[in-house]
């Protein structure tokens, strides 16, 4: 085998230009497939990152009526939805895939928050003691919430950096007073996530999908929420998962647990229940939208591999013709058909394998160039690169069979007589 590989390499390097032109179809086909697969993989990962975020592995479980999330800014509070207690949190922490949990209430695009004459249009949250831990927030300025803020109903607030920039424009916000639903709240700190993530917006559809995640945020103790809204309100819950892959399971088990405690009846027979955000499912649905096109692109790129294989068969037939005397001499000295067959199959396989390796390198380089030019994320797949090289070797074997069989069947006497 090693002798055949050595002979194959000698033949390839003795006809460098011819060998390179023969491999060109293989190189182009493999490079195209590696580029397409890398771009698809990178785009899919970006979609997943956009929806899930970075470093949080958190799943929201919110109250729904039918298929619509209940917005307590506009919808009445249903009776029969109990408060999520500390005992409930303890039970939820025992569920598979859950490492932490926190309750919260929320007003999206709140218009009743002011600092002097400036209005705020981001999100207002009433959070418990665990919320910042679940979402990996840290207090950059001032202080965080302490136990007395909850037990003594202190009117204090923590804002994020976006809100600080919007309302205070470089001025320290700590100690300033916000008017929240006509109630004065003292800002005690500015919080920021340890891993700040912003979705990549490449289209209007991306903007509509992800833009809501980049607004400013204001946090107040959950104990103050009835002061702001004038009534008790059912909480939502967010669970931190042990890993990204556990998000679907942890979210489903948490919502199932909470739903066993609901006795409320919705309007017009619509069910009131907790539902989890299945972000992995959403990501897969978006990824599947382009899967058909992606498969077509891979199929088109594969045609060049077929062309490359035909080129390999052609050049190997020429090689057999050129080396007829060599084959006849080997047979005259006792070489069997199997030995001649393996020699030419090995040469074809080595030729296409080198083409496969060069194609992989070209595909990786091309992927990076496209990424830089179009700002499209790419992710090189080790599995795809290995498969590409193996597949190129298989092409050499398949398209080298006919020339190899022709060489092995040559009559040694006629081969030695040939000019």
What secondary structure does DSSP assign to 89-135, as a single string? HHHHHTSTTEEEEEEEEEETT-SSEEETTEE--SEEEEE-TTHHHHT
- Same domain for 251 and 299, yes or no, is no
- Same domain for 131 and 254, yes or no, is yes
Residue 260 has pLDDT above 70, yes or no: yes
Phi, psi of 336 (to 5 degrees): -85, 165
Residues facing 238 on adjacent strands = 60, 102
- Same domain for 346 and 399, yes or no, is yes
- Same domain for 17 and 97, yes or no, is no
Report how far Cα 417 is from the mean position of its chain's Cα atoms.
Answer: 64
Residue 143 confidence (pLDDT): 95
Any domain includes 72: no
- Same domain for 131 and 220, yes or no, is yes
Residue with more model confidence, 77 or 197: 77
Residue 222 pLDDT grade (very low, low, confident, very high; cuts 50, 70, 90): very high
- Same domain for 245 and 339, yes or no, is no
Q: Could you read off the pLDDT of 376-406 as tens digits, one per residue?
A: 677 777 877 888 788 778 887 777 777 777 6
Residue 124 confidence (pLDDT): 92
Residue 12 confidence (pLDDT): 67
Domain boundary among 243, 261, 279: 261
Residue 393 confidence (pLDDT): 81
Residue with more model confidence, 290 or 158: 158
Any domain includes 73: no
Residue 53 pLDDT grade (very low, low, confident, very high; cuts 50, 70, 90): low
Residue 90 confidence (pLDDT): 93
| Mean of pLDDT values over 303-314 | 78
Any domain includes 88: yes
Q: Could you read off the pLDDT of 161-188 as tens digits, one per residue?
A: 989 998 998 889 999 999 998 899 999 9
- Same domain for 104 and 243, yes or no, is yes
Any domain includes 101: yes
Residue 283 pLDDT grade (very low, low, confident, very high; cuts 50, 70, 90): low
Residue 208 confidence (pLDDT): 45
- Same domain for 111 and 190, yes or no, is yes
Any domain includes 311: yes
Domain containing 299 equals 2-49+289-417
Any domain includes 187: yes
- Same domain for 375 and 295, yes or no, is yes
Residue 342 confidence (pLDDT): 74
Any domain includes 276: no
- Same domain for 123 and 161, yes or no, is yes
Residue 414 confidence (pLDDT): 57
- Same domain for 230 and 314, yes or no, is no
Residue 213 has pLDDT above 60, yes or no: no
pTM as predicted: 0.59
Domain count along the chain: 2
CA-CA distances (angstroms) from residue 61 to 14, 90, 255, 274?
68, 16, 6, 6
Domain boundary among 220, 241, 261: 261
Any domain includes 196: yes
Percent of the chain at pLDDT exceeding 90: 23
Residue with more model confidence, 41 or 117: 117
Q: Write the CB contacts of 17 (distance below 8 Å, at least 6 apart in sequence).
A: none
Residue 45 has pLDDT above 80, yes or no: no
- Same domain for 38 and 118, yes or no, is no
The mean of the pLDDT values for the chain is: 78
To the nearest 5 percent, what fractions of the chain are helix, strand and coil? 55, 15, 25
Tokens representing residue 405 in the block: 């069989």
Residue 148 has pLDDT above 60, yes or no: yes
Residue 105 pLDDT grade (very low, low, confident, very high; cuts 50, 70, 90): very high
**Rounded Cα distance, 340 and 234, in Å:** 80
Percent of the chain at pLDDT exceeding 70: 71
Residue 204 has pLDDT above 50, yes or no: no
Residue 257 confidence (pLDDT): 92
Residues facing 159 on adjacent strands = 190, 218
Residue 46 confidence (pLDDT): 65
Domain boundary among 261, 278, 298: 261
């Amino acid at each position: 085998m090693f002798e055949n590989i050595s002979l194959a390499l000698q033949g390839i390097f003795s006809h460098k230009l011819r060998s390179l032109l023969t491999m060109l179809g293989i190189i182009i086909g493999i490079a195209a497939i590696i580029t397409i697969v890398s771009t698809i993989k990178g785009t899919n990962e970006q979609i997943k990152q956009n929806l899930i975020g970075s470093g949080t592995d958190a799943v929201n479980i919110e109250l729904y009526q039918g298929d619509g999330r209940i917005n307590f800014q506009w919808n009445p509070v249903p009776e029969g939805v109990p408060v999520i207690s500390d005992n409930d949190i303890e039970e939820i922490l025992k569920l598979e895939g859950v490492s932490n949990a926190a309750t919260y209430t929320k007003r999206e695009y709140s218009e009743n928050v002011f600092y002097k004459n400036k209005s705020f249009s981001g999100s207002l949250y009433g959070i418990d003691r665990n919320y910042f831990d679940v979402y990996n927030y840290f207090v950059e300025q001032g202080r965080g919430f302490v136990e007395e803020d909850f037990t003594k109903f202190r009117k204090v607030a923590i804002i994020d950096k976006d809100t600080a920039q919007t309302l205070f424009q470089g001025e320290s916000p700590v100690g300033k007073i916000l008017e929240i639903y006509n109630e004065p709240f003292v800002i005690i700190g500015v919080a920021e996530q340890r891993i700040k993530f912003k979705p990549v917006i490449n289209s209007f559809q991306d903007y509509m999908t992800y833009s809501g995640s980049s607004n400013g945020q204001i946090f107040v103790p959950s104990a103050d929420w009835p002061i702001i809204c004038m009534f008790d309100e059912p909480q939502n819950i967010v669970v931190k998962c042990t890993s990204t892959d556990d998000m679907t399971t942890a979210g489903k088990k948490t919502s199932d647990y909470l739903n066993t405690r609901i006795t409320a009846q919705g309007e017009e027979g619509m069910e009131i229940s907790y539902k989890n955000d299945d972000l992995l499912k959403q990501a897969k649905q978006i990824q599947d939208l382009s899967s058909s096109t992606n498969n077509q692109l891979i199929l088109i790129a594969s045609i060049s591999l077929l062309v490359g294989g035909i080129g390999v068969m052609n050049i190997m037939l020429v090689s057999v013709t050129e080396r007829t005397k060599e084959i006849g001499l080997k047979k005259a000295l006792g070489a069997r058909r199997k030995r001649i067959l393996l020699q030419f199959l090995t040469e074809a396989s080595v030729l296409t394998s080198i083409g496969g390796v060069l194609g992989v390198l070209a595909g990786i380089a091309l992927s990076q160039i496209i990424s830089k030019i179009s700002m499209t994320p790419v992710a090189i797949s080790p599995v795809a690169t290995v498969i590409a090289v193996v597949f190129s070797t298989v092409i050499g074997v398949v398209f080298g069979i006919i020339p190899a069989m022709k060489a092995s069947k040559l009559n040694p006497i006629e081969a030695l007589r040939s000019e």
